[in-house]
Structure 1
């Protein structure tokens, strides 16, 4: 399975292969009070024009259509990237938007106007906004090829390499060819610590590393011996490298030097890593193998698991994404649900309180749930791009999600997808 070799600083050796010292288990159960289980119908609402604010008819939140891909000449769609990525820059003035051509674009979050197409990042460049400077972002060569981390000054287009790991990784693993998170990871909340998986030229896994941006040093090396993770990510505090996979090890949290490890889940599911109300790292995920298909959180330092609520309601189930990027509003995550179905008859529409929504969920037993919007996106077979994949900004005052505005009707053009924004008052 996993064998550790390296840690502490560049070139140091780890002498043991850590096995999970803690298997995190459930110790606190939630019932999610009925007051939060709003099952309001989804009223019909014509597709709004871009830039004209409107009130979400069911929950009263302030919304606006952020993009108009057809008017702006963007190929296929204009959608925000993913729930586990921060879409907003540090001062909430710019939003990252992706089009099917592989180009990345900037929109003004206040005027909803197209700003520019970025020069440099292309396709899966794993773009990460700088946590405090709104004019800087980090990116990697497509799919991590080249094994570099680059910094882009948005206003000027100037790019510089802040970390070239290629020589160090090839010295450790001669076949190393790419270093990335495989589309779903983030650095620590302050942008300093990064967890990256390393692939060879055939996309076989050779290892995992943690890297310190400030000192440009590799803090730990972990050989995977071909056991490829689904994705990796650093925890917000920078204390843990979380490796998500479907092998016997499942999803685990390693210390930065890979000397200790604890098991979070037996599989890789949709998840994110957030901060709880005390500012501690928590792994938030769905567990389809539990009796209730629970949304849960695990406090990584203590390994304590808390069930938030069941997603198996009256023989229904749903897919969902989680965004834990509100680091300045610890104790909350954003959840967007889609592709719900009724187990005895998948063709029968039996929507329940949590389905087809964007909602804020408190990270606590018996959590408060704030319903923000119905996303109105039709997500059927082969409509991945229409998944809402909602993402929250740092202080939970703005949310973006993707929608074809299908109102549960299959669109004539499955790529006719734009980005919508919810504005919330400072809580």
Structure 2
């Protein structure tokens, strides 16, 4: 799955991977990695499949105008609601993030409008005419983020603030630290308002509108290479996974690295090279699939990633284990 979407279910007993060769989402045993079956689902996009955060048998996805609750064990589909005001299919847009961490709220778009839906209340909280990616609901469910403009809204689409980011649509993942929703992403240039926090991981507090550099020149790291960030260790709030690309030689700091960043304390763990050339791969028809997109399990002790392992002609899936035993690297 993509860095912003949980690959494992709530108790890590099941794992979803996408098979490019077969063109399907596949279900695996989350601990033995035994293939179970191809999933009979048709989400709006292969990256828009959302495991329930405490019911390991349930996942959600949007199919056309319907929000579906899928029971994995029985293979049954249940329509939660139909967005009958959408003339075409609804989706989470081109840059999907995740649902609220209680699996109750989701941000969607259709027909040049965005809206937030509450499952428990079976209510569309707000609809707004806006031709951009939807306000993706933050972990608390009380705020949402517009990745095209950097706007932070409440659940009823009222603007709260705008983050001073030149590229709010860059690789990022929402998370939570000390009870506050956060934006965690790579920042390469100062913001339009002059915010100078630059780095591979910069964390913005959505509630307070403040930022700090976790991995960047201000904290002793190099200028950031391309990378992806994942806040999907939702049982370890504040812990984010980072997969940086950098130079394919692997010679420099942050080249081909997997790291853990604690956005509360600022500590960083270097946990291993992914060894993938990413989009620099010369042997794949579509090198995008070689990007590692490392995503942790809910508990933050395992992570899954893709790698071409040094410009190979295939991309395979790897799991990093026992990440709680990593050594902190002083920079």
Q: For this structure pair, what is the TM-score category when the shorter chain's length is used for normalisation? A: 0.7 to 0.9
Q: How far apart, in 2, do the equivalents of 1:385 and 1:254 lie?
A: 33
Change (3 A) 1:350 1:329: closer
Q: CA deviation at 1:178?
A: 2.5
Q: How far apart, in 1, do the equivalents of 2:146 and 2:43 lie?
A: 25
Q: CA deviation at 1:279?
A: 2.2
Change (3 A) 1:243 1:394: same
Change (3 A) 1:102 1:302: same
Q: CA deviation at 1:97?
A: 0.7
Residues 102 and 122, structure 1, Cα contact 8 Å, conserved in 2: no
Q: How far apart, in 2, do the equivalents of 1:232 and 1:258 lie?
A: 8
Match runs of 1:244-259 below 5 Å: 244-245=147-148, 250-259=149-158
Does 2:27 match 1:106?
yes
Task: Deviation per CA, 1:63-91: give whole Å up to 9, x if none.
Answer: xxxxxxxxxxxxxxxxxx11000000111
Residues 184 and 232, structure 1, Cα contact 8 Å, conserved in 2: no
Give the TM-score taking structure 2 as reference length: 0.86
Q: How far apart, in 2, do the equivalents of 1:426 and 1:352 lie?
A: 25
Match runs of 1:24-423 below 5 Å: 81-100=1-20, 101-121=22-42, 124-125=45-46, 126-141=48-63, 146-165=64-83, 167=84, 169-170=85-86, 176-182=87-93, 183-198=95-110, 200=111, 206-224=112-130, 227-229=131-133, 232-245=135-148, 250-264=149-163, 265-267=165-167, 268-276=169-177, 278-290=178-190, 293-294=198-199, 295-310=201-216, 317-338=224-245, 340-341=246-247, 349=249, 351-364=251-264, 367-379=266-278, 380=280, 383-406=287-310, 410-411=311-312, 413=313, 416-423=314-321
Q: Which has the larger radius of gyration?
A: 1
Q: CA deviation at 1:351?
A: 3.5
The number of residue pairs the alignment matches comes to: 308
Q: CA deviation at 1:316?
A: 6.0
Q: How far apart, in 1, do the equivalents of 2:250 and 2:9 lie?
A: 39
Which has the larger displacement, 109-118 or 86-95? 109-118
Structure 2 residue runs without a partner (length 5+): 191-195, 326-331
Q: CA deviation at 1:390?
A: 0.5
Residues 337 and 356, structure 1, Cα contact 8 Å, conserved in 2: yes
**RMSD (Å), alpha carbons:** 2.3
Give the TM-score taking structure 1 as reference length: 0.68
Q: CA deviation at 1:371?
A: 1.1
Q: How far apart, in 1, do the equivalents of 2:186 and 2:5 lie?
A: 18
Structure 1 residue runs without a partner (length 5+): 1-80, 171-175, 201-205, 342-347
Change (3 A) 1:357 1:151: same
Task: Deviation per CA, 1:67-118: give whole Å up to 9, x if none.
Answer: xxxxxxxxxxxxxx11000000111111101012431111112212111111
Change (3 A) 1:352 1:311: farther
Task: Deviation per CA, 1:23-81: give whole Å up to 9, x if none.
Answer: xxxxxxxxxxxxxxxxxxxxxxxxxxxxxxxxxxxxxxxxxxxxxxxxxxxxxxxxxx1
Task: Deviation per CA, 1:287-324: give whole Å up to 9, x if none.
Answer: 11136742311111111111223269998651111111
